[in-house]
Structure 1
Amino acid sequence: MSLPRIAVLISGSGTNLQAIIDAVRERQFEAEICAVISNRPDVKGLERAEAVGIETRVVDHKAFTSRELFDAEMIRVIDGYAPDLVVLAGFMRILTPDFVRRYEGRMLNIHPSLLPKYRGLHTHQRALEAGDSEHGVTVHFVTEELDGGPLAIQAVVPVLNDDDEATLAKRVQAQEHIIYPLAVKWFVEGRLQMINGTACLDGQPLPAEGCQLHMDR
């Protein structure tokens, strides 16, 4: 019986990619990372994949005259690997509706905020400026609404009195590396699904915030 196949899309350093690579190599779940695909050449994430023998591809978005043409080529490349799951790990592109529909229900993203708060960029700065007492990170299914798909899991961290953007980002990122492999594990084991637009775990609908983990720091 073949292992579930995961394609990971990146744009940069690939720290979440590394967390998933480590989880697979440590046999936290049974799966194969069949490809790592980047829209930027010469990024650290490609080196991480190549170091452990994972096939890599670059589809440079700058070579395309429109988002639609770029996404069409991405679909062609991704489908060549026949993945069961597409994982966005710091993939910094806004996706076209055609792309999202192609993989809906089998594409996950991670976003550094407690969605639905702070969609988009500069999430740590925005949480600090708002005086929030809690911040965190969310893994969600990808839909056509930017950072708006059903939530699978969140890690909640307190905002400390002496936090600045860098310290808060560092603590949130540590949780990213825990909850993203966990969400991937749930998916490849058949436990996490999107059913009728709702994230479900073990066949039961999750609450709107997904499964929440609260951290002391």
Structure 2
Amino acid sequence: MGALIQAAKKEDYPAEIIGVFSNRRAAPGLDVARAEGIETATLAQSSFASREDFDTTLTGILESWSTDIVCMAGFMRVLTPSFVERWQGRAINIHPSLLPAFKGLDTHARALAAGAAEHGCSVHFVTPGLDEGPVIAQARVPVRPGDTAETLAARVLVEEHRLYPEALRMVATGKASLP
């Protein structure tokens, strides 16, 4: 998220970060956004009777900000079909693996356990299936002898910070769209 905010500060960047939402009040990204003068909002899912109610309220917040594209980073929730349908082709997510490999959690440890020679990150369109949407862009990093999940994650994170702003640029300019 911080990388997107920094990219959007450039005059020639085709997107503006207008709001940052989290389902965790203590998410560090909220402080980053506030320091940049960006509106923030939080909702605890536990305050809602259902996932549908939460996603409906979230959609209301996004609509109140006149959101065009939803960029997810570290938002560890499975979204409801109605939310995904509402933002179809306009919701993107960054995932720490070379999709379709290693969907879900613990991607770095799973890549090491599988003996992968390379790992990386993917930005993809959000669809109903977990980490199944069409890939917009990927970045690869080699898996090195002696890597741990932590050392591999650190190298992937560098690529995530580079890749996500570029993928958002592609979506914002129409160079990437949901087929």
Unaligned stretches of 5+ in structure 2? none
CA offset at residue 97 of structure 1? 0.4
Q: Number of paired residues?
A: 179
CA offset at residue 31 of structure 1? 2.3
Query: Which runs of structure 2 are paired with 1:25-40 in the superposition (5 Å)?
Result: 25-40=9-24
Q: What is the aligned partner in structure 2 of residue 178 from structure 1? A: 162
Query: Which runs of structure 2 are paired with 1:94-133 in the superposition (5 Å)?
Result: 94-133=78-117
Query: Which runs of structure 2 are paired with 1:14-93 in the superposition (5 Å)?
Result: 17-93=1-77
Aligned-partner Cα distance in 2 for 1:34–1:145: 27
Deviations 1:148-197 (A, max 9, x none): 000111101110001011100000010000010000111112221112xx
CA offset at residue 76 of structure 1? 1.2
CA contact (8 A) 1:28 1:185 kept: no
Higher helix proportion: 2
CA offset at residue 43 of structure 1? 1.8
Aligned-partner Cα distance in 1 for 2:41–2:94: 21
Aligned-partner Cα distance in 1 for 2:16–2:176: 18
2:124 to 140, 149, 168: 140
**Aligned alpha-carbon RMSD (Å):** 1.0
TM-score, normalised via structure 1 length: 0.80
CA contact (8 A) 1:139 1:154 kept: yes
Q: Percent identity?
A: 47
Deviates more, 1:63-72 or 1:120-129: 63-72
Letter in 1 for 2:54: F
